[in-house]
């Protein structure tokens, strides 16, 4: 095995053409440097230098080894630079998981802001609901995830995952135009007894949140359709086929053919949180992304849910499809995975 330190000696001797000058440049004695060259020649199994009147010059084997040495040292410098960027949160990869309704405003606005500040980071976006996302963070398959919990359905927190609150997301009610409650400033859940519901959760630990809340309000909901696809939810409600819950986070992306009103129902308020590996394993880029998420959350709260940027939404059942998209504002690009 060739020794890297001795390869550096090879390069310096070749550069100076003299053992004495190379020794001075490396702060070696000439004798010590000569010994290093002798050991390297034994490791290489070939003579690397030949003496002449003005110093030393490379043999054919020495020239070949020097070519490889230059490439090795170039790659080593690149590796050091890459590692330094990752440690500073300025490079490398960030695997970021997010659930469907957070993809409407919170996630894309934060990623856009993050990439403007840190264009050297390659962000991989994965759509995953909360339980799947927390499991992926615990398994170190994700570096950061947006998750949530309802009062009646707390999030299960693995010991190696750190969860921090980000914002409160009160659910609203989406109504079709002309609905009997469309003119109200606020709607009580009990007033929706007898309505057909389009439930925006098809499976998972939170699928019973709506039925439980309705039962507490004194009625059994009629679930006409369940889907994880928020575009389908909006289309069915706009067509007058039912009513649906609408998270605060989706309000900036709400279609103009829907009427959305606040709900007076504490059980239908959820806390949005960030989930990361424990501190010792957290990437600096994840910490930086959380700061952008906090800034966007504050902006959304201040605006009452009215975002300034065009919203992005995913479609489908939310089980790991892959999209590709060009980079934002000329950045490296974002890989989108459901």
pLDDT tens for residues 292-324?
999 999 998 887 654 433 332 333 333 333 332
pLDDT at 138: 94
Contact 81, 74 (CB under 8 A): no
Distances (CA, A) of 261 to 110, 179, 188, 264: 26, 12, 10, 10
CB atoms under 10 Å from CB of 270, counted, come to 25
pLDDT tens for residues 141-166?
999 999 999 998 999 999 999 999 99
Give dist(CA 286, CA 86) in Å, integer: 11
Contact 178, 256 (CB under 8 A): no
pLDDT at 302: 83
pLDDT tens for residues 229-268?
888 999 999 999 999 999 998 888 777 889 999 998 888 9
Residue whose structure tokens are 């991989």? 124
Give dist(CA 303, CA 254) in Å, integer: 15
pLDDT at 333: 46
Give dist(CA 266, CA 280) in Å, integer: 36
pLDDT at 202: 84
Task: For residue 118, give the 3-state DSSP assignment.
Answer: coil
pLDDT tens for residues 116-139?
999 999 999 999 999 999 999 999
- Contacts of 129 by beta carbon, 8 Å cutoff, 6+ apart: 99, 100, 204, 206, 228, 318
pLDDT at 305: 52
- Encode 251-266: b = buried (16+ Cβ within 10 Å), e = exposed: bbbbeeebbbbebebe
Q: What angle do CA 272, 246, 100 make, to 5 degrees?
A: 55
- Helix residue ranges, H only, 182-268: 209-216, 230-238
Percent of the chain with pLDDT over 90: 69
Beta partners for 148?
Answer: 272
Burial class (CB in 10 A: 0-12, 13-18, 19+), 325: exposed
Going by C-alpha positions, the residue among 110, 115, 118 that lies closest to residue 89 is 118
Contact 82, 92 (CB under 8 A): yes
């Amino acid at each position: 095995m060739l020794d890297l330190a001795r390869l550096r000696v090879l390069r310096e001797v070749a550069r100076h053409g003299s053992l004495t000058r190379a020794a001075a440049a490396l702060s070696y004695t000439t004798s010590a440097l000569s010994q290093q060259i002798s050991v390297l020649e034994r490791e290489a199994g070939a003579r690397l230098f030949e003496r002449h009147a003005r110093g030393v010059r490379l043999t054919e084997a020495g020239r070949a080894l020097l070519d490889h040495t230059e490439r090795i040292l170039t790659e080593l410098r690149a590796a050091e630079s890459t590692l330094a960027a990752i440690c500073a949160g300025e490079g490398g990869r960030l695997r970021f998981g997010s659930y469907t309704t957070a993809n409407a405003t919170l996630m894309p606005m934060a990623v856009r802001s993050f990439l403007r500040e840190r264009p050297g980071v390659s962000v991989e976006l994965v759509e995953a609901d909360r339980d799947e996302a927390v499991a992926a963070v615990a398994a170190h398959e994700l570096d950061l995830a947006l998750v949530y919990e309802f009062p009646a359905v707390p999030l299960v927190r693995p010991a190696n995952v750190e969860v921090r609150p980000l914002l409160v997301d009160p659910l609203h009610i989406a109504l079709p135009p002309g609905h009997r409650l469309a003119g109200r400033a606020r709607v009580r859940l009990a007033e929706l007894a007898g309505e057909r519901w389009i439930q925006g959760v098809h499976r998972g630990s939170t699928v019973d949140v709506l039925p439980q809340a309705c039962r507490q309000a004194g009625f059994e909901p009629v679930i006409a359709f369940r889907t994880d696809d928020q575009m389908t939810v909006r289309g069915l409600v706009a067509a007058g086929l039912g009513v649906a819950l609408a998270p605060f986070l989706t309000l900036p992306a709400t279609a103009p053919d829907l009427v959305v009103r606040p709900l007076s129902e504490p059980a239908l308020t959820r806390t949005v949180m960030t989930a990361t590996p424990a501190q010792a394993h957290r990437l600096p880029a994840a910490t930086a992304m959380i700061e952008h998420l906090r800034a966007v959350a504050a902006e959304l709260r201040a605006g009452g849910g009215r975002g300034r940027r065009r919203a992005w939404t995913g479609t489908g059942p939310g089980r790991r499809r892959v999209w590709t998209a060009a980079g934002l504002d000329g950045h490296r690009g974002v890989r989108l995975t459901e």
